[in-house]
Structure 1
Amino acid sequence: MLLSEFLLTRIVEVAVHGLDLADALGREPWLTSSAGDAVTELLLGAEQTAAVRTLGWSQPHFLRKATGREPLDEEEAAQIEQLSIRWLALG
């Protein structure tokens, strides 16, 4: 594993678990745009990141949906299907 790949795993952990921590503490979530961009590109691939902007979601909102922390409702699932958005499954 390259150092850059390892560092990306740390960005994912801080970004996603930072959202969890904000939720647990009842605080407004925050995420730097650089971290949000890096995690979004990892989950979707560079070619699909523009499709997420079409949804009009904030980066924290997208990350919650993409990581299963917040379920997709029927309308959101239909939008995702229509835009052919597929994200990397985390486990």
Structure 2
Amino acid sequence: MLTPLVANICGFAGMACIIFAYAYVTGNKAANPFVQHGVNLAGAALLTVSLLVNLNPASLVLEFFWASIAIWGLIKAARSKRA
């Protein structure tokens, strides 16, 4: 079982991942989609861990969609790399 402290640490780490991914894609002309979407997915997962302890239903739904879009981006990047 997660303690509130560990959940908060996960939440702050997830927030840092998402902010990093946004800054990364904003600051690079040719950002690597695997980095962008992978870090966003990690951020969403970490924030979800936090939200399971500190329940906020609206934010939990947001993280579900954030993770879904990141997975979609990773799939698209993998398909384009194969082509």
In terms of fraction of residues, the more helix-rich structure is 2
Q: What is the TM-score when the length of structure 1 is the normalising length?
A: 0.37
Larger Rg: 2
